[in-house]
Structure 1
């Protein structure tokens, strides 16, 4: 079971808006397993990563399924900008 690197890393938000770069199938698999939830997209990402780890599919296929999951959940960190803060107090000076 070898983890192949992705051609291009996937950047996701973790915790309180901290970016994390996922460079390989193992990284994506661990993230999907640790993510709180049980959606069909998450289960598909986990299955795709497992298949890539065993050599049944190529790493880029697993990456595509993982990106679909992360996009659906709003986890993709584009340009490393933190997500907007919603529902916070407004300050008037």
Structure 2
């Protein structure tokens, strides 16, 4: 794993609801840098500054990830991790391991 990669990717909605998977500090920085000025907030500034510090090696990628997640939650653009939701979605459903022969 490279030094700027997140342990787990963060998926957010951008533009017209397009999901974007962010796996590195640089990817997060690029998205935040391109964020529309009219919708920037204090949470955006904090996340962008964290990305800058992460790129400089001043803070860990997981710290950057945490600020990115906080920003995304604040703006209701965080896409839940489908893998972590799968057990809940499958709860109570019987496993289908046999075939109808």
Runs of 4+ with >4 A deviation:
none
Paired position in structure 2 for 1:91: none
What corresponds to 1:16 in structure 2?
A: 16
**Alpha-carbon shift at residue 15 of structure 1 (Å):** 2.1
Distance in 2 (CA, whole Å) between partners of 1:57 and 1:18 is 29
Aligned counterpart, 2:67: 65
> CA shift at 1:3, angstroms?
6.4
In proportion to residue count, which structure has more helix?
2
Q: Does 1:25 align with 2:25?
A: yes
CA distance in 1, matches of 2:65, 2:81: 18
Larger radius of gyration between Structure 1 and Structure 2:
2
Question: What aligned pairs does 1:11-90 form with structure 2 within 5 A after superposition?
Answer: 11-36=11-36, 37-79=39-81
How many residues align? The count is 79
Q: Deviation of residue 18 (structure 1)?
A: 1.6
In the alignment, structure 2 segments of 5+ residues that lack a partner are: 83-101
Whether contact under 8 Å (1:45, 1:65) holds in the other structure is: yes
SS at match of 2:20: strand
Counterpart of 1:57 in 2: which secondary structure?
Answer: coil
Alpha-carbon RMSD across the aligned residues, in angstroms, is 1.7
Gaps of 5+ in 1: 81-93
Q: Could you tell me how far apart the structure 2 residues matched to 1:76 and 1:27 are?
A: 15
